[in-house]
Amino acid sequence: MLRQVSEGLAAFYKALKDEMGVENQVTSFTSSDFGRSLQPSGSGSDHGWGNHQLLLGGAVLGGRVHGTFPNLSLRGPDDSGTRGTLIPSTSTEQLGATLARWLGVAEADLPSVFLNLYSNLELFGKTDLGLMV
C-alpha cells in the first residue's frame, strides 16, 4: 500500500509542477491524532497518541524529520501510563497551526481554531514547526 501512496503522491506533485505550475501554492498532508498503545488491550480500547505524518508541496521545507522518536519501553520515559501509550513530541495542533499560518490565518485567530495550541506550550514548546517557506 505504501508503494501506491508514494506513486500517487509523486504523480500528483509532478502534475502540480510540470502541468500546472502551482506546486508552491498547494500543500498535501496527512493528519490524525489517533494512535495505538504498544500493549494491546484485546478489547479494542488500546488507543494512544502519536503518528507519523507526511507533507508534500513546493512550499514545504522538506528532507527533514521533525519530532523525536520515542523510547518504546513500557513504563519508560515516554509512556504516559503502563501500557505504552506514548506521549508524542509534536502535536496535531502544532501541525495544523503551522499550515493555517501558511494559508493566511492570522495569529490572533489561531486560538479560536486550535483550542489547545497555547495551553500545551510547556509540553510541546512552540506553535510553529517551521515547515513552510
Q: Would 130 be classed as within a structural domain?
A: no
Q: Would 119 be classed as within a structural domain?
A: yes
3-state secondary structure of 113: helix
The answer to which of 21-25, 41-45, 100-104, 105-109 has the lowest mean pLDDT is 41-45
Residue 55: what are its φ and ψ, rounded to 5°? Answer: -130, 140
Range of the domain at 29: 2-124
Q: Would 53 be classed as within a structural domain?
A: yes
pLDDT one-digit tens code per residue, 75-112: 999 999 888 998 888 888 999 999 999 999 999 999 99
What pTM was computed for the model?
A: 0.85
Question: How many domains does the chain contain in total?
Answer: 1
Q: Would 29 be classed as within a structural domain?
A: yes
Check residue 41 and give its pLDDT. 79
Triad 87, 88, 93: Cα angle to 5°: 120
Query: In angstroms, what CA-CA distances link 44 with 34, 35, 40, 133?
Result: 13, 12, 8, 41
